[in-house]
Structure 1
Amino acid sequence: MKSDNAFLTHGRDESSRLNIGDIIMHTCSTFALILIILFLLFIGFSAYAQADADHLLAEIPTQTLYLGEKLMIDLKNYGIKYENQVKIPSHDRLTLDFNSESLVLTVSSTQARSHALEAGLYRFTIDYRASSAARWSEATVVVRVRPIQRITFRYFSEDSDKRVSIAGNFNNWSYADHVCEYNKAEKSYEITVGMKPGRYEYKVVVDGEWIMDPANPDTVSNGMGGFNSAMVVEGKTNRPGMFIKQWAEKTDDGDIKLTFRFLSGGKGINPQKIIVMTGNRQLPSDRVQYFPDKKWVSATLPVSLWESERVHGKIRLIGEDTEGFPTKENITLCLNNIPRGKMTGDFRDWYDAILYSLMVDRFANGDSTNNNPIQDHELADQVNFGGGDLDGIAQQVEKGYFERLGVTAIWLSPINQAPDKAYYEFSEPRRKYSGYHGYWPVHPTRIEPRFGGENALKSLVDKAHARGMSVMMDFVSNHVHQEHPWFQEHPEWFGTLELPDGRKNLRLFDEHRLTTWFDEFLPSFDFPASPAAVDSMTDNALWWLENFQLDAFRHDAVKHVPNLFWRELTEKIKARFPKQHIYQIGETYGSHKLISSYINPYQLDAQFDFNLLHTIYSIFLSDGVGFDLLDVALEESLEAYGAIHLMGNLIGNHDKTRFITLIEKTIPPDENEKEWGWDHPVSVTDATSYHKLSTVIALIMTIPGVPVIYYGDEIGMPGAGDPDNRRMMRFEDDELSLGEKRHFDRISQLCHIRRERPALRYGDFLTLHADSLTYAYARVHFDETLLIVLNLNPKSKNLSIPISQLAGDRDPLKFVDLITDETLGSHDGIFSLDIPGYGYRILSVE
């Protein structure tokens, strides 16, 4: 048969020999070719259009609905816009109410139907399309339904004319949400609250006075010089079952097959429903298999998927057990269908990060020519500019300090220009302060001259990037200083200081959360009433990213800024940097619900887990509070933020007393920790305090989330409350004690272990043992398993750990200590080892 080209050549040379059959054949061949091309273009366009539609809705994570409550899903947080079309099909067990004006979907139980909703695992779909799209796309949403406990609080009093309320981390410490009613018969103020299983801190507010609950003897330190009442709400008797990663392999067809092992939460409990999600799509049932004899689950990811459908995010595996309770969710992070840290090596992402938080003014003085403290005889040295600058940080980058420590990202305190004079704080004792810390910006784009200038920042970022490190800037969006040109030129952008009732809108954090001022000279934006302010401030954030190649933002006072601001900022960042992950982490104190309301694809990546931090305080600083309580708090965080997440795990920051000083207990419990630091310089007097501090750092280095080191904690720097916790950093050998040097070596070792072991960053979390003073847990990531054991006994402790769930059918197991290289073995499902006093061990299962 001749080719088309040969036929055409023949036609030119021998036109007289063409006949009608040749013409018809040629015409048909050409027409068929055109049809084929058009068909392929249509298929390609359809696939593109479908992929574009699928990308319209970002992944909606597994949702949790508590019986008797409502679940609110704001689709704006996942990319849906008002011009898009959304349809919510009905569901036989859930009531789904979609508000097209707010784009919020409300999910609740359907009690009126013939079968009331029970605890378990449910699914529903969302149909959506772009306004220009012809086809509808479908997203599957998974909802785990859990029971809730009814808890009654009582405050006894003969006086029936008081105003009594309960404020705690379950209601964002709001004294207005849970007001008690007086029971004359019992002579008590009472309120019954629906509470999820977990650990809670609270206080009773009586006529405006915040007191401990007289009926509850359990108390915990709040980490800021005071105490809270504490309680634990119990859940189901058995722990939820879970799936752990076993292995990943390529099939003969080139697919990726992941195998998981089910660990039962109780005797005879097995999974009866299994759901595997990739994005908003459920993996087809023929791709998921369960092997009941071995309790294995396999999920096969087809290599033939369109590139747009390949898994670049998370694989979520969740089930329902035979008692009707949802299992814990397993999350596997993937890139191009391949599990991270497995098969193709590491992928550097923010999941791999170790953050180092520093105050620019207090870290290192690299250029003494810009030293210019404020001249004011009422201004103490502790709160004046201390000489630290960007050049000093850059010099430590070049000296390899951060690499020796093992951190991967530097978090800079705010660097905007600050006022050139000191101001009185409005609260007693009304001391004068300067803006050395950076949180009083007087200009949107100028760098504080005492810190250097634009070239100094660019040089620091370039040097950090050259060494494989990221740079995060602390961005202040809630407020400005009164000298800022935006406040001078656009006062209508800001909330008012004077309230109609004559009070000043100062630190009314609950009553006027989105407009309250932090001080009389720090006006807060009123973003809901000022679209121009939202636009200007979000554009300002982009300006810093574009001009200095920054990699991330830490956002100040997040809960005092409305969600609409964060959505606009994140949407602008996604549009401007479509191929770069600009990590955003925020600061919010409050409930898991409040904190997580800001964490989604169109707001922030994460926030700092202050609830977990406060539990850590309780464990390491209070007598009678054990690791079993910490285990409860960890489980709460994993359910609230995901089994693998980007939340910041910290043990302190620039607002809190140094952890080692809290360990030493040198500040009397009835003293204000901030005030104590002014007149009572604290130091480290007990060498064992370094070991306790390294043990708590070992904890945050080995649990899910991003560990954060506050500058100086790597040497055990002491300090009472602000400003004593912001001392000048020390580096040189002659400035450090032997205890500080040894502590640095231990923290450096922990950082490098985390960097080298994927299981610590991507692995499943499995509790093996938790009592008052010892804690053992595993991190499992396919063929890598690590065992971590912590001991708060002052002396060495021999601990026997049941490892049958860890071993499966592999008993006995061999363990290798990653710090000492010692090899140990298990016997009959038990692993026994010695743990040093106030110490830890990290072992690899070989």
Structure 2
Amino acid sequence: RTSPGSRPASPTSFAFNAPPGATDVRVPGEWNGFDLGTAPELREGGAQGQLVATVDLPPGLHAYKITYRYGGELAWVLDPAEGRRKYVDGIENSAVKVPDCRLPALSVASSQVARAAAGEGAFEARLAYRDGIEGAGPDADAFEAMLQDQDGDARPLAAQEISVDERGDVRIDVRGLDDGKYRITLRGATRSGRVGEPLRLVFWVEAEPFSWEDALIYMVVTDRYRDGDPALNAPATLGADPRGDWAGGDLEGLRRSIEDGTLDALGVRAIWLTPFQENPAGAYPASDGVHQVTGYHGYWPIKAREVDPRLGGAEALRALVAEAHRHGIRVLQDFVVNHVHEAHEYVASHPGWFRTGCVCGTDGCDWTSHALDCMFAGYLPDVNHTVPEANAAFVADAVYWLDEFDLDGLRVDAVKHVEEIATRNLAAEVREAFEPAGTRYFLMGETAMGWNDCAPPCNDENYGTIAKYIGPQGLDGQFDFVLYHGVSYRTFAWGDRGMLHAAYWVEDGQNRWPEGAIMTPYIGSHDTARFATLADYRGQDAAHGRDVPTRQWSDTAEAPASSDVYARVRLAMAWLLGLPGAPLLYYGDEYGEWGGVDPNNRSLWRAEDELTPDERETLDFVRQLGAARQGVPALRRGAYVNLTATEDTLVFGRRLAGGRSAVVALTRAATAQRISVEVADALGLPAGAALTDALGGGAETVSATGMLSMTIPPGGAVILAP
């Protein structure tokens, strides 16, 4: 609906399931200044008893609330069916995104991927056309349709691969595809010359359709991984401590580790790259206020859409992603939404988008009450997502990175330090832009919490704070901080909590996280001391106090001298890679890299020929675990079931239908453990089923009474599966 000189308005529908007894249900919004008296009333007529109203709105993001009267009181509520949010005058509202009604639009009616054999992949889709409001009709000859293959090369769809009927509806049938990731981008067109927004159909051709539960995520601090292009290496930064300076790792180095099969051998299916946006030159104060460090880690961006040249620039990132996709590996970008560096281009051009003056942890600016507005450091302005333009810019930047470099998802940094609008609007845009053909883009978050050593409900805040950002309108999952602090190092590194404790807290978490959440358990990351060092300095004598791994700059931890440390690493890895979710493998942990907290946990990755015998043994074992996780579907997709536990021994199952369940057993005991567990009812494994140890041990058979017996080697593990 248009008039001369006006912006086109689209009839926009609102629907709401009002609570019983509610009256006078209305939808005030920006379009009427949130005036209740002129707000449209929602009336009967919607599906399943919903109340509905229609408002003519121009293109853009419009804030609104739902109001109703109940028991004499007026309630203003957010729309539970709408994921987007928008602040107006500091108040959070629901928001509806209205397209330009003059443009044609395509939507997916159906799509499917088939693969008869390698090189015989096929993609079919049916798309529905919606004409622009002018009613000009479709111009089939002007439709755009481009196919991008797994190498990043693009071509127009051939005539036999696409057809457009007289209504503008589209049929796509592409065949002869090799394994890998593909994207078809289409734009509809009208006879009046208007071209629609792009519709992206992203799909993978694979022998087994991928779920994010299949992912073993390998985290890389790019500058500290592998030097693939020495020509990029810069001289030492003036004033910077060498431990906090650029070390020469780059995107090409990681690409080579993908190409040569280093990551395949570990069973890696996804890579999490620390931020690769350009960071500042020069050194800045570390958290102690004494030492100087650089932005080698990537978390101090100064550019919105440029790859840091010290990592290789845009072409190196494209080459890495293409190589990863050829190996069936997804690539996740670490996306910083909480802050930027003071030299960021947005700070100069839009200073009103940022909050400054309150530094986290200083007097009057504690981490809790100022979680949303404090600065991580005095040179890191805090992004104010209550400013609509700021939030829109960061969301648009995320979509740019995913689109331009064919990435597969995001790790969202410091989630609890930004308004929830940041993850909600990000999720809405990513789902809309990249998932119409059904390929899931993974959105994982970091919400740092702890664990309390007490009975329920004392961990409700820890669970609840992490969980509130997960769901259909938010993130797919988060890092399991509760399990890390409750079990990972207490049971497996320090050893002062037993396997019964581990069994309880794994199961407790399974019952606490939202349905469908894909959590990421871990035993180490760039924000923790290395697991091997925690296992080494566990308080066993005066020289190995637990405080040593927390030292950053002086009297820091040394390399482990005991083989027992690496045995603890291996046992922890057997537990980790048997858990549900998408577990994290921090670079170097595959061989037991050592070091205390930052900067000592970010030493350069070492190739196999640089490892000690203990480290090589650990690497070989983790490779076995990675192969087992990829080769045994139950380890990736089966439901978690505790079978039995003692202080030193834990046996759990991963139940999968069709007699495909697996059993994971591990012990800290110094002698072999013979254990029997019931598996017929617990796991659906029938009598007579033969199970083989994926770690190279012998086979076991389910007895006539549904029992499974196994021998766990001293301080070791077995993984039994059909």
Q: Secondary structure at the match of 1:461?
A: helix
**Aligned with residue 696 of structure 2, among 814, 820, 835:** 820
After TM superposition, the structure 1 = structure 2 runs for residues 322-721 of structure 1, keeping only pairs within 5 Å, are 346-376=208-238, 378-425=239-286, 427-428=287-288, 430-498=290-358, 508-528=366-386, 530-577=387-434, 578-579=436-437, 580-590=439-449, 591-616=462-487, 617-642=489-514, 645-665=517-537, 668-669=544-545, 671=547, 673-675=549-551, 678-721=554-597
Residue pair 2:414, 2:445 contacting (<8 A) in 1 also:
yes
Give the letter aligned to residue 429 of structure 2.
K
Partners of 1:634 and 1:652 lie apart in 2 by: 17
Deviations 1:260-294 (A, max 9, x none): xxxxxxxxxxxxxxxxxxxxxxxxxxxxxxxxxxx
> What does 1:86-235 align with in structure 2 at a 5 Å threshold?
86-88=16-18, 90=20, 127-128=49-50, 131=53
Larger mean CA deviation between 767-776 and 488-497 belongs to 488-497
Displacement of 1:619? 1.4
Q: Which runs of 5+ in 1 are unaligned?
A: 1-80, 103-124, 134-343
Query: CA offsets per residue over residues 44-80 of structure 1, 9 Å max, x none?
Result: xxxxxxxxxxxxxxxxxxxxxxxxxxxxxxxxxxxxx
What's the CA shift for 1:356? 0.4
TM-align CA RMSD: 3.0
Shift of 1:668: 4.1
Q: Is the CA contact (8 Å cut-off) linking 1:373 and 1:386 kept in structure 2?
A: no
Q: Deviations over 1:139-175 (max 9, x none)?
A: xxxxxxxxxxxxxxxxxxxxxxxxxxxxxxxxxxxxx
C-alpha separation in 2, matches of 1:463 and 1:699: 30
Larger Rg, first or second structure (1 or 2): 1
Q: What SS does the aligned partner of 1:724 have?
A: coil
Contact 2:467–2:514 (8 Å) recurs in 1: no
Equivalent residue letter for 2:563: A
Q: Distance in 2 between matches of 1:623 and 1:472?
A: 33
In the TM superposition, what is the alpha-carbon distance from 1:420 to its structure 2 partner?
A: 0.7
Distance apart, 1:700 and its partner CA? 1.9
How far off is 1:737 after superposition?
A: 1.8
SS of the equivalent of 2:651 reads strand
Alpha-carbon distance in structure 2 between the residues aligned to 1:750 and 1:132? 56
Q: What is the CA–CA distance in structure 2 between the aligned matches of 1:759 and 1:612, rounded to whole Å?
A: 21
**What SS does the aligned partner of 1:698 have?**
helix
Structure 2 CA distance, aligned partners of 1:356 and 1:498?
35
How far apart, CA to CA, are the structure 2 residues paired with 1:755 and 1:98?
52
CA contact (8 A) 2:470 2:514 kept: no
Matched, 1:771 2:639: no
Asked whether the equivalents of residues 643 and 764 of structure 1 are also in contact (C-alpha less than 8 Å), the reply is no
CA distance in 1 between partners of 2:235 and 2:571 (Å)? 38
Alignment correspondent of 2:718: 841
| Cα distance change of structure 1 residues 130 and 652 upon mapping to structure 2, 3 Å threshold | farther
Return the alpha-carbon distance in structure 1 between the equivalents of residues 400 and 310 of structure 2: 21
With normalisation by structure 2, the TM-score equals 0.68
Give the one of 593, 598, 601 matched to 1:722.
598
* One-letter amino acid of the counterpart of residue 448, structure 2: Y
Tell me, yes or no, if the aligned pair for 1:88 and 1:126 is still in contact at 8 Å: no
User: What whole-Å deviation, never above 9, does each CA across 1:773-815 have from its counterpart, x for those lacking one?
Assistant: 1111111111202111110123322333344633779446543
Alignment partners' CA distance in 2, 1:484 and 1:642? 36
Offset, 1:514: 0.9
SS of 1:778's partner is strand
Task: Report % sequence identity.
Answer: 31
The alpha-carbon distance between structure 1 residues 129 and 362, as it changes in their structure 2 partners (threshold 3 A), is farther
Partner of 2:143: none
CA, structure 1 residues 385+126, in 2 after alignment: closer, same or farther (shift >3 Å)? Answer: farther
The AA in structure 1 aligned to 2:367 is F
* Residue pair 1:494, 1:524 contacting (<8 A) in 2 also: yes
The Cα shift of 1:444 comes to 0.8
Q: By how many angstroms is 1:681 displaced? A: 4.7
Give, in whole Å, the separation in 2 of the partners of 1:414 and 1:609.
21
Which stretches in structure 2 are left out of the alignment for 5+ residues?
1-10, 30-46, 56-205, 450-461
Counterpart contact for 1:674–1:721, Cα < 8 Å:
yes
Tell me, in whole angstroms, the C-alpha distance in 1 between the residues paired with 2:648 and 2:24: 48
Which whole-Å CA distance do the structure 1 matches of 2:546 and 2:232 have between them? 41
Distance 1:830 1:369 in 2: 61
Q: Report the secondary structure of 1:603's partner residue.
A: coil
Q: Against the structure 1 CA distance between its residues 670 and 363, is the aligned structure 2 distance closer, same or farther, given a 3 Å change threshold?
A: closer
Quote the Cα distance in structure 2 between the aligned partners of 1:546 and 1:807: 42
* Separation of aligned partners in 1, 2:675 and 2:294: 52
Q: CA deviation at 1:509?
A: 2.0
Q: Distance in 1 between matches of 2:689 and 2:571?
A: 25
What CA distance in whole angstroms lies between the structure 2 residues aligned with 1:96 and 1:725? Answer: 59
Aligned residue identity for 1:698: A
Cα distance change, pair 809–433 in 1 and its aligned pair in 2 (3 A): closer
Counterpart CA distance in 1 for 2:215 and 2:445 is 16
Shift of 1:517: 0.6
Question: SS at 1:727's partner residue?
Answer: coil
1:85 aligns with 2:15: yes
Structure 1: how far apart are the matches of 2:548 and 2:27? 50
Quick one: distance in 1 between partners of 2:611 and 2:419? 45
SS in 1 for 2:410: strand
Question: Shift of the alpha carbon at 1:82?
Answer: 9.8
Instruction: Name 2:184's counterpart in structure 1.
Output: none
Aligned residues: 524
Relative to 1, partners in 2 of residues 1:694 and 1:643: Cα closer, same or farther, differing over 3 Å? Answer: farther
Q: Deviations over 1:729-751 (max 9, x none)?
A: 01142x11222222112111111
Q: 8 Å contact 2:685–2:702 — kept in the other structure?
A: no
Superposed CA offset, 1:720-770 (max 9, x none): 11111100001142x112222221121111111111222122212211102
Aligned equivalent of 2:199: none
Local SS of the residue matching 2:643 = strand
- 1:741 to 2:616 alignment: yes
Q: Which residue of 1 aligns with 2:634?
A: 759
Q: How many angstroms apart in 1 are the aligned matches of 2:285 and 2:512?
A: 40
Contact 2:536–2:544 (Cα < 8 Å) also in 1: no
Work out the CA distance in 2 between the residues paired with 1:808 and 1:762.
15
Query: CA–CA distance in 2 between the matches of 1:610 and 1:82?
Result: 41
- The aligned counterpart of 1:6 is none
Deviation at 1:489, TM superposition (A): 2.3
1:824 CA displacement: 2.5
Aligned partners of 1:634, 1:127: CA distance in 2, in Å?
41
Q: Is the 8 A contact 1:551 1:583 kept in 2?
A: yes
